[in-house]
Amino acid sequence: MKKALICGVSGQDGAYLAHLLLQKGYEVYGGSRDAQMSSFQNLTRLNIRSDISLVSVNINDFRSVLQTLLKIRPDEVYNLAGQSSVGLSFEQPVETLESISVGTLNLLEAIRFSELPIKLYNAGSSESFGDTGQLAADERTPFRPRSPYGVAKAAAFWQVANYREAYQLFASTGILFNHESPLRPERFVTRKIVAAACRIAQGSTEKLTLGNIDIARDWGWAPDYVEAMWLMLQQPEPDDFVIATGHTRKLKDFIRTVFERVDLNWEDHVQIDPSFFRPTDLAEGNANPAKAFWQFGWKAKHKMEEVAQMMVDAQLNGVFHPTAS
């Protein structure tokens, strides 16, 4: 039985990845800064909390990481930890850089020091590309990040590449574009939209206040994307891959789809507040995920319209399963 350690198991991706690995027969360890105090609500929602061995590990502390690796001796480590909000990164740039960049470096160095044959997956981000305009970013597109979050993810990407080349570690980065699910916290705009639309449909008279709704993103379904993470570590050689649907839509289109799902006209319920605009926001994000398809056959199963509809259905029905629809 393979062992996997998921750092950041309490988040959206960590929970869905844990669910997937359990289905594949793994012994799954879930890392959290304080496993005694964390609620692990997402694991409970997926009904898998009792199936996972929860461990306290602080990836900002090298000794904590090394001790955890030597104790568990995992075959695979998934680095999904760190501050995960682009918007919040402007308010907490130091915490963002430390939790993402220093955390990744500690994992790499601990794996090297342990001399265990551990395969590492690192969660990269399309935010590292910055604004590529109409260009569909792939693995050769230069990084020009425009947020503290993007800067931190770019730094972590190059750390992984450096350790792979210098020390022959099996370390791969998935450069993931936006991926959503009912497990997202409401501070993420997609869940904020879905939650508000469902409340309004049930009688609330509130207005949904948003920032720039003309931004465009490639939105996918998170359970599809965790499968790509797993597949990367099953390849004969480590490498980096863009993971996306290949289809870009405006936030306005996401809003429209959500409100149509509850039989409402979005324009009657949405107001724009310029104070919600970010200092440097990306106008558009386009992706070319062809390499993942050609190398290991991965392709996104759900595009934005389906993602929005599934999130609404899950919100109304209280269903969080990966195939919720």
- Verify whether residue 38 is a known catalytic residue: no
Greatest C-alpha distance within the chain: 60
- Verify whether residue 125 is a known catalytic residue: yes
Give dist(CA 44, CA 67) in Å, integer. Answer: 27
| From 16, 78, 121, 149, the catalytic residue | 149
248 and 181 Cβ atoms separated by less than 8 Å:
no
Residues in the chain: 325
pLDDT at 68: 97
pLDDT at 163: 98
pLDDT at 36: 64
pLDDT (tens place) for every residue of the chain, 325 residues total: 999 999 999 999 999 999 999 999 999 999 987 666 677 999 999 999 999 999 999 999 999 999 999 999 999 999 999 887 787 888 889 999 999 999 999 999 999 999 999 999 999 999 999 988 889 999 999 999 998 999 999 999 999 999 999 999 999 999 999 999 999 988 889 999 999 999 999 999 999 999 999 999 999 999 999 999 999 999 999 999 999 999 999 999 999 999 999 999 999 999 998 887 766 667 788 999 999 999 999 999 999 999 999 999 999 998 777 764 3
| From 127, 180, 227, 305, the catalytic residue | 127
CA-based nearest residue to 83, from 162, 217, 167, 188: 188
3-state SS record for 105-136: HHHHHHHHHHCCCCEEEEEEEHHHHCCCCCCE
pLDDT at 183: 95
Give residues with Cβ within 8 angstroms of 73, minimum separation 6: 3, 116
pTM summary value: 0.94
pLDDT at 198: 97
| From 32, 64, 89, 125, the catalytic residue | 125
The DSSP annotation for 14-65 comes to HHHHHHHHHHTT-EEEEEETTTTT---HHHHHTT-GGGSEEEE--TT-HHHH
